[in-house]
Amino acid sequence: MIYKHITQLNIHQDVIVPCRKGQLDHLSQYTTVKDPDFNGEFSTVQMLYGAEDNRVYLLGLGEEKDAVNIDDAFRKLSFDYKKYWKEPVQIITEGFSDAELRKVVIGLEMSAYNIGAFKSKKEQEGAITFEIVNSQDVTALLEESQAIGATINRIKTLVDAPANQKTPEFLGQWAQASAHDANYTCTVLHKKELEAQGFHAVLAVGQGSVNSPVVIVTQYMPKKGMAVDIGLVGKGITFDTGGLSIKPSTNLHYMKSDMGGAAVVLGVVELVAKLKLNVNVVGVVASAENAVDSNSYRPGDVINSYSGKSIEIIDTDAEGRLILADGLNYIIKEFQPKQVIDLATLTGSVVQTLGYSAAGMFTNNTEMAQNLSKIGFEINERVWPLPLFSDFDSDLHSDIADLRNFSGKPIAGATTAAKFLEAFTEEHQAWMHLDIAGVSFGDSKYAKMKSASGYGVQLMVNYIKSISEN
């Protein structure tokens, strides 16, 4: 997609005219149709013709409550009609706030996402030019918004990729290429380095796979010699069979998406670097494939961890928390970030609790929780607080190790997973865990099968922006 800022409408070209519900007086400027049979209901579209036989797309923005979803209205319009757009399309944005205009461009950019990357016959789509009509100079805003939308598409491509292509090593190569292009640093720790440095939990999870685990460390540090403002940790299970505690076959093919948290971390560090935000960020992705093999780790095993704590394995399908435990402990000890946030498609329990409407947020830091929650509601990437009560400590008791990886109880699964992670945070006062299992991957109007949503990139980047501005 190409975005250009213009100040004057060309009446000979096609134009998109956004309309808030019941506010249609301005339509006479763009079409001679006196009664367009259109009231501005959210995401409704009415295509008319202007005085010069140009197409006029009336796009409903709905009511005030629909404002957070403006991006989806533009995405759906572009997704449905882009095959007809051979010439530049104008968009009326006069009176839009910066946040609204950002949503317009992000939605349009996301409409360009092509999920059929592995099809033998691909539809060739030319770049569409959108001319943003606005009396203010919005060029910089357009560039930033396009970068955000493009990064969301890049991480969706990662999440939707099949596991035979998307190995842990592939994620490492992706990160190294990204670091080269966006001017940040990336180090990939392979098996020998993981063994030498003591990433025992990561190695245990990955030992049953022919694809060896890696830990990816990305750093964007514009403030030389200063502390790390925020550390991000992502779960990068490139395929999750459940291990010897094997999952049922139903929907097992979707377990290629179990690296959704890793994708967010990789995308956010890349985007922060592209936007040149004045904030020191470190991202750590612990990546492995949880496979079934004669060498797989077993229920009943006791493994070590980067922290030095021993872990009794109750369920090999509770593997994400194991690699996150190593990633969290590593980033805290190695970089001492002021804040730490981990993201993971961690539990089915959080989906049972919150459905597909919000991520589960676990933290004892009230300020972080309030700030992230506010940002999430503003951009419709919502989070919802869930407890870290000490009542659940006993659920992780082990007679033979420091703790166990699974409570075995059919209740509070998301909380006990978060409590497990908490044990590896060195009592960090600004740690947060986001369980994104219900929002990272699912049903969509843009695909016939479940697919990546792109959740988390805007949420984290906007949060990091708020840090850089303070």
Provide long-range contacts, Cβ within 8 A and 24+ apart, for 66-72: 66/42, 67/100, 68/377, 68/378, 68/379, 68/380, 69/42, 69/43, 69/380, 70/100, 70/103, 70/104, 70/107, 71/103, 71/104, 71/106, 71/107, 71/110, 72/43, 72/107
Q: Give the pLDDT score at 42.
A: 94
At residue 199 the predicted structure's pLDDT band, cuts being 50, 70 and 90, is very high
Q: In 3D, which of 228, 211, 212 has the Cα closest to residue 220?
A: 228
pTM: 0.94
- Look-up of token digits 């190409």: 2
Percent of the chain with pLDDT over 90: 86
Average pLDDT in the 228-251 region?
96
Higher-pLDDT residue of 315, 126: 315
Percent of the chain with pLDDT over 70: 100
Average pLDDT in the 343-348 region?
96
Q: Where are the beta strands (DSSP E) in 314-430?
A: 339-344, 359-363, 383-385, 403-404
Spatial separation of the C-alpha atoms in residues 94 and 28, rounded to whole Å:
16
- The tokens of 196 are what? 């030498």
Sequence-distant (6+) residues with CB within 8 A of 180 are: none
User: pLDDT (tens digit, 9 = 90+) per residue, 177-195?
Assistant: 999 999 999 999 999 999 9
Sequence-distant (6+) residues with CB within 8 A of 188 are: 172, 173, 175, 176, 214, 215, 216, 217
- The tokens of 455 are what? 């959740």
Spatial separation of the C-alpha atoms in residues 72 and 106, rounded to whole Å:
9
User: pLDDT (tens digit, 9 = 90+) per residue, 289-303?
Assistant: 999 999 999 999 999
For strands 302-303 and 311-312, give the pairing: antiparallel
User: pLDDT (tens digit, 9 = 90+) per residue, 105-161?
Assistant: 999 999 999 898 888 887 777 889 999 999 999 999 999 999 999 999 999 999 999
- Rounded to 5°, the CA angle 87-89-93 comes to 165
Beta bridge mates, 16: 57, 91
Spatial separation of the C-alpha atoms in residues 57 and 458, rounded to whole Å:
28
Sheet holding 403-404, edge to edge: 302-303, 311-312, 403-404
Query: At residue 29, what is the residue type?
Result: Q
User: pLDDT (tens digit, 9 = 90+) per residue, 14-37?
Assistant: 999 999 998 887 887 888 777 888
User: pLDDT (tens digit, 9 = 90+) per residue, 412-445?
Assistant: 999 999 999 999 999 999 999 999 999 999 999 8
Q: What DSSP state is assigned to residue 175?
A: H
Q: Give the pLDDT score at 121.
A: 84
Spatial separation of the C-alpha atoms in residues 376 and 379, rounded to whole Å:
5
Q: In 3D, which of 201, 255, 278 has the Cα closest to residue 233?
A: 201
Give one DSSP letter per residue of 30-97, joined into a string. Answer: T---S--S----TT-EEEEE-TTS-EEEEEEEESGGGGGGHHHHHHHHHHHHGGG--S-EEEE-TT--
Spatial separation of the C-alpha atoms in residues 306 and 327, rounded to whole Å:
8
Q: Give the pLDDT score at 469.
A: 73
Spatial separation of the C-alpha atoms in residues 96 and 234, rounded to whole Å:
35
Q: Where are the beta strands (DSSP E) in 200-291?
A: 214-220, 230-240, 281-290
Q: Give the pLDDT score at 183.
A: 95
Backbone angles phi, psi at 448, to 5 degrees: -85, -20
User: pLDDT (tens digit, 9 = 90+) per residue, 62-108?
Assistant: 999 999 999 999 999 999 999 889 899 999 999 899 999 999 999 99
Average pLDDT in the 272-289 region?
97
Spatial separation of the C-alpha atoms in residues 162 and 435, rounded to whole Å:
22
Catalytic residues: 247, 321
Q: Give the pLDDT score at 123.
A: 76
Spatial separation of the C-alpha atoms in residues 409 and 391, rounded to whole Å:
14
User: Does residue 378 surpass a pLDDT of 90?
Assistant: yes
8 A C-beta contact, residue 281 and residue 272: yes
